[in-house]
Amino acid sequence: MTTEATLPGADLPPQLDHLAGAAVEPTERRGVWIEDPNTGAALQEQARSSADAVEAALDHAARLHEAGTWRDLPAAERAAALSAVADELEPMVPEIATWEAATSGATIGTTSMLGFIVHAAFRLAAQQLAEGVLSARFDGPTGRPVEVERTGWGPAVLLVPWNAPAPMAAHKAASALAAGCPVILKPPERVPHGTAAIGAAADAVAAAGGLPAGLVQVVHGGPEVGGALVSDPRCRAVSFTGGIEGGRAVAVRCAEQLKPVQLELGGHAPLLVLPDAEVDHAAEAAVALLTTLNGQWCRALGRLLLPADRADEVLAAVTERLSGVRLGHSLDPTSLMGPIVHRDHLELLRGRVDELVAAGGTAVSPTPLPDAAELAGGNWLAPTLVGGVDPSLTTGEIFGPVASVHTYGTVEEALALANGTGYGLEAYVVGTDEDAAMEVARRVVAGGVKVNGASPISLHLMAPRPAWGISGLHDEGTVETIEFFGGNRVVGVEGSLGGGTG
């Protein structure tokens, strides 16, 4: 791939660093291309920020924090500034959704639906500041209040994945800013444009006097750039969403400096279909979990667990629904599912299916592939269920529209299968008797368990999003992510010296 191409309907902007309030073209390239997953065409060569640019970003963030320019602003003023960023981002959301659909393969329907998070995250963080999320007061021993104030740790490095990057980046950035931290964002190298737009929006607000210049900076690159940011002592907190190998590397580097790290490392979600479940509900859940974000999301279906005496019935219903799924161009609003993000990941997924089949599995992929000639080079993979494989061989996350099928005789057996992977991010239970289903759900080892639901939206806006086991460290959430980026300072008069009463 040596020439650039423009995806019809999606003019990609240049990849720009945002350093100290200015947009700068990165001076280096990675030798790898952002591709159109629908056709395989090369779109842009991936940019990489130079070592000097990374150094400049870290230096500026550290100086900004030391000066207290943002950290020491009253919460109400920080809230107003975050609202201004939201105002700047909101009209950009359609473009961001298009860019992310064009380069990740997620359908435009999905990226548009998730796009509201890009601006809403800043509004929600502003609301939390206005409601006093960072402050508390207690009656002290002398009658004076004991003050509890949460203060940002310092420059925060935010590393986001390629499957829904701009919404995740917005949540992380808004939370870190609310806590009082300068932010350095590294977009995913294959899908960078939406995340970088957050830096552009912050620059625009800064130019109008609403933010300190360079409060949100953006640098580009792969693990080498991320590693340099995380390893630097001027980085005081890290939030990472991605694969378990990358997460472990980030955790090690943070552990060496005893700096806080928030990790969301994926999952291998079970869908436990109870014996009394409506077959249509079970099938609807399975198909939704296989096709949302093309199966490339951390809460996607990993294991489909079926009562043995109803397995054929449920699988027939799932197969029928899958046969009607429209797999097509990610920018076509009628597509229910799009292509795999890039050809390397497609080959990895095909290899995993081959391994499961070689281990005795039977693969079922009833969804028809696109037949348009112009899509012949795309990264197409039909949603696939593989049955008949020993559960000991299906414990790893696949991160695609591929899931194993296992049958059980008793609910105890089903729970053993649901809890037998080491992951603990999300799980799903389907059953007609909701009280009984809730009892089962409470025994599933996962941070989140949805009963009779399979959407990508949280059960409640104010509920935490925990990650158990090897799925990660430190809860995410509307409040929890803000709290992660800072530490409490408790100040008060004790009055125990010399009998003083204040």
pLDDT, position 6: 39
Q: Is residue 247 situated within a structural domain?
A: yes
CA distance to 231, 393, 438, 454, per residue, from 434 (Å)? 48, 32, 6, 15
Task: Confirm whether 6 is domain-assigned.
Answer: no
pLDDT for position 500 = 52
Q: Evaluate if residue 499 carries a pLDDT over 70.
A: no
Beta strands 448-451 and 426-430, pairing class:
parallel
- Asked if residue 235 belongs to a domain, the reply is yes
Average pLDDT (184-205) is 98
In percent, the amount of the chain with pLDDT more than 90 equals 95
Q: How confident is the model at residue 5 (pLDDT cuts 50, 70, 90)?
A: very low
* 380 and 290 both lie in a single domain: yes
Instruction: Let me know whether 236 and 337 are in one domain.
Output: no
Average pLDDT over residues 479-500: 92
**Structural domain containing residue 124:** 17-24+48-265+471-489
Shared domain for 172 and 292, answered yes or no, is no
Residue closest to 198 by CA, chosen among 179, 178, 181, 219: 219
Give the span between the Cα atoms of 261 and 180, in whole angstroms: 17
pLDDT at 8 over 50: no
**Does the structure show a pLDDT above 60 at 309?**
yes
* Average pLDDT over every residue of 51-79: 97
Q: With a cut of 50, say whether residue 389 has pLDDT above it.
A: yes
Radius of gyration of the chain (CA): 24
Count Cβ neighbours within 10 Å for each residue of 327-341 and write b for 16 or more, e otherwise.
Answer: bbbbbbeebbbbbbb
Same-domain status, 136 and 220? yes
Average pLDDT over residues 205-212: 97
Confidence of residue 502 (pLDDT cuts 50, 70, 90): very low
Clarify whether residues 131 and 152 are in a common domain. Answer: yes
Nearest to 247 by CA among 29, 467, 17: 467
pLDDT at residue 422 is higher than 60: yes
Look at residue 223 and tell me if it is in a domain.
Answer: yes
Q: What is the mean pLDDT of residues 386-398?
A: 97
> Does 162 reside within a domain?
yes
Quick one: average pLDDT of 164-173? Answer: 98
* Structural domain includes residue 142: yes
Do 260 and 300 belong together in one domain?
no
Residues 214 and 356 in one domain: no
Indicate if the alpha-carbon torsion angle 255, 256, 258, 262 is positive or negative. negative
Asked if residue 174 belongs to a domain, the reply is: yes
Task: Using the predicted structure, report yes or no on whether residue 2 has a pLDDT greater than 60.
Answer: no
Pairwise CA distance, residues 321 & 285, whole Å: 11
Q: What CATH number is associated with residue 333? A: 3.40.309.10
Single pTM value for the model: 0.95
Q: Alpha-carbon distance 106 to 270, whole Å? A: 22
Position 140 scores a pLDDT of 94
Structural domains counted in the chain: 2
Q: Residues 333, 481: one domain?
A: no
pLDDT score at 498: 80
Quick one: 240 and 329 in the same domain? no
Mean pLDDT on 307-311:
98
CATH number of the domain to which 213 belongs: 3.40.605.10
Per-residue pLDDT at 346 exceeds 50: yes
Cβ neighbours of 319 (radius 10 Å)? 17
Q: Is the same domain home to 338 and 209?
A: no
Pair (68, 124) in one structural domain: yes
Do 315 and 257 belong to one domain?
no
The per-residue pLDDT of the chain, averaged, comes to 95
Q: Is the CB of residue 240 less than 8 Å from the CB of residue 246?
A: yes
Burial of 429 (0-12, 13-18, 19+ CB in 10 A): buried
How far, in Å, CA of 264 to CA of 481, rounded? 12
pLDDT surpasses 60 at 4: no
Residue 384: inside a domain: yes
**What confidence tens digit (pLDDT) does each residue in 211-254 have?**
999 999 999 999 999 999 999 999 999 999 999 999 999 999 99
Looking at the chain, the whole-number percentage of residues with pLDDT higher than 70 is 97
